[in-house]
Every structure is written in C-alpha cells, then in structure tokens.
Copies of this chain bind each other. A is one copy, B any other.
Amino acid sequence: MRFDAPSDPAAYAFTHHLRVRFCETDAMGVVHHASYLAYLEETRVEYLRAIGRPYDQLRAEGVEFPVVEAALQYRRPLRFDDVVDVGVVVASAGGATFQMNYLVGCGGVASATCVTVHGVVDGQGRPTRVPLWLRELAAG
C-alpha cells in the first residue's frame, strides 16, 4: 500500500453522497472513526454500480473483494446529519490486489483521506487474479 490518497477532488473518478446517521456518532459528539469504513464501503459499492459492475452481481458470479489493508487519515470531524461527499478512484492494480483511494469531504472541506487495498477471491475463497476491467480502470 502506498498512502497517496490526494486531497484534490479532481483526482477522484466518482463521488457518492451520504448523510451521517445518529448511531454513527459517539460520546465525543462526532462521527466515530470506525464509521468511515462503512462510508468507504458504501461508496465503493455505488462506484461499482455506476460503472456497470454491481457488487452483488459480482458476488453472485463468485467474486469477492475482501479488504486486505486499510489506512485512514482523519483531518476534521464529521457530525450528525452532515452531508458527506466521498470521492473514490482505483489508484492502482496488480495481479493479486488493487488499491482504491478516497476523499471524504463535507461542505467542500476535506474530512479524511483513505486507502483500501483489496484481494480478489473466488466463490471458494481462493485468491484469484484482479479482473482486466479493474486493471484498466487503474490505468485510466
């Protein structure tokens, strides 16, 4: 993993919007740091749908993208009811893993920059190659 998630929104291929739930906050009055992983996951799924590769269909075909690494830099807290913009891009893809970068923002201000690295497994949980269409996204 290279932690190179940029703060420039122009570096992202797709942006998903969601709203902070009350249950995602904690007793510090802000969004708990673990909730961001749910935001990244939701954004990843919406991005795959937007490019015609819905994740539930991939799963039905026996392909899963387990998270093998994740890294998050928290810059400014999010609060209940904030509208959150999550940019996502396939940053790189090799034979066995691929990396996605994320910019989590609110009102035009960066809240967090994040990275996830994914493996690819088949229906029996065996590692398999990163699909060509994902490698092409990374190259694009």
Contact = CB atoms under 8 A, between A and B. Distances in A.
B55 A81 contact: yes
Given A69-B73, A74-B67, A26 B22 contact: yes
Nearest to A34: B37
Interface of A: 3, 19, 21-23, 25-30, 32-35, 37-38, 41-42, 45, 54-56, 59, 64, 66-74, 77, 79-81
Nearest to A69: B73
A23 B45 contact: no
Contact of A54 (B35, B42, B81): B81
Contacts of A79: 27
A25 B22 contact: no
A70 B68 contact: no
Contacts of A30: 27
